[in-house]
Structure 1
C-alpha cells in the first residue's frame, strides 16, 4: 500500500473519526452502532491510505523526487 493521503488530509480524518466515535457515548443505545463508522476515517487517517482515493486516482500527499 503506497500512501495517498497527505498530512492535512490525515489530520482531518483522524479528528473526524474520533469525533464520530465519540458519538457512541452520547447516542441512544439503538443508534450507537452508527458511531462505529468513525473507525473508517480513523483507520484511513492512521494508515495514510484511502481505498477510494486509489480507485479514483487521487493523491493528496507530497510526492518524493526520484
Structure 2
C-alpha cells in the first residue's frame, strides 16, 4: 500500500520535535505516562502521513496541493 505524503516540511519538523519532547519528558518522569502520546506525532512526522489529515482532506505538503 502506497501512502501519499500529506505532511509538509514545517509540519513534519514540528511533529517530530514535539513528539520527541513529549516522549523525553515522560521518560524523565517530568510528566505522566500520557506523554507517550508523542509517539503519534513522531510517527506521523517520520512517515510524512497523517490519517486524520486524509480523513478531513487536509494536506500541508506542497507537492500534494498541485
> Considering the TM-score relative to the shorter chain, is it more than 0.5?
yes
1:27 correspondence with 2:26: no
Could you list the runs of 4 or more consecutive aligned residues of structure 1 that deviate by over 6 angstroms after TM superposition?
none
Cα deviation, residue 8, structure 1? 0.5
> TM-score, with normalisation over the residues of structure 2?
0.83
What count of residue pairs does the alignment treat as equivalent? 62
Cα deviation, residue 62, structure 1? 1.1
> TM-score, with normalisation over the residues of structure 1?
0.83
SS in 2 for 1:20: helix
User: RMSD of the alignment, in Å?
Assistant: 1.8
Q: Which runs of 5+ in 2 are unaligned?
A: none
Q: Which runs of 5+ in 1 are unaligned?
A: none
State how far apart, in whole Å, the 1-side matches of 2:12 and 2:36 are.
Answer: 18
